[in-house]
A and B are shown apart, each in its own frame.
Chain A
Amino acid sequence: AQSVTQPDIHITVSEGASLELRCNYSYGATPYLFWYVQSPGQGLQLLLKYFSGDTLVQGIKGFEAEFKRSQSSFNLRKPSVHWSDAAEYFCAVASGGTGNNRKLIWGLGTSLAVNP
């Protein structure tokens, strides 16, 4: 069955430090991969997505992610974290078929805290 694993439940970094959030997926075909961010009291906001093509994807707020098929990973990175990046981060894979039959399968999230 398709699944998404985010190994780190909670991460704390200092403001200005680099960040990498890990995401591993299990899916037989070429996946559609997403990273979303959820701030307290807010809905989920799409940071970036990978459908095909260049395996390094640029997103909003200075985030990027790299799709590595050999490692079944889609890790999220940011070179310099800002205090406003403190939030919950979710990795998701769209699976279950093609076109309109796809559903989103979610990781359990990584909570990011930023120290001043």
Chain B
Amino acid sequence: KAGVTQTPRYLIKTRGQQVTLSCSPISGHRSVSWYQQTPGQGLQFLFEYFSETQRNKGNFPGRFSGRQFSNSRSEMNVSTLELGDSALYLCASSPPASGGADTQYFGPGTRLTVL
């Protein structure tokens, strides 16, 4: 089975712009979670989608949003980028029998740099 894929792998944007990141989960997985990873804050949970509905949400401002499509692919959008949004954004999918945070499989991440 193919693993979790994320596109693009690297992205450079300037302050004020917006960005959309994409995640394709493992085939058959319906839960997709997003995380932000920075050296200072570590891994922080952004949100989780299941069957096209947001099921859980972390403590991020409304500039961070996401959605999930009927094929379980998910996108994450960040509007009005700030320098502090520079991070590795990780996507993870979970098997259908597990709860949202159980046994997650991660993609390689998208490295976002905001200049």
- Chain A residue total in the interface (Cβ 8 A): 26
B58 at the interface (CB under 8 A from A): yes
Report whether A107 and B42 are in contact in the complex, using a CB–CB cutoff of 8 Å: yes
A94 touches B102 (CB 8 A): yes
The number of chain B residues with a CB under 8 A from chain A is 25
Q: Are A102 and B43 in contact (CB under 8 A)?
A: no
Q: Across the interface, do A43 and B102 meet the contact criterion of CB distance under 8 Å? A: no
- CB pair B101–A45 under 8 Å, yes or no, is no
Q: Name B's interface SS.
A: strand
Residues of A within 8 A of B109 (CB): 43
Shortest distance in angstroms between B36's beta carbon and chain A's nearest beta carbon?
Answer: 11
CA distance A94 to B103 in the complex (A): 10
Report A-chain residues with C-beta under 8 Å of the C-beta of B48.
Answer: 103
Q: Are A103 and B58 in contact, with the CB atoms below 8 A?
A: yes
For window 10-31 of chain B, which residues contact chain A by CB distance below 8 Å?
A: none
Give the A-binding residues of B (Cβ under 8 A). Answer: 4, 33, 35, 42-45, 48, 50, 55-56, 58, 90, 92, 99-109
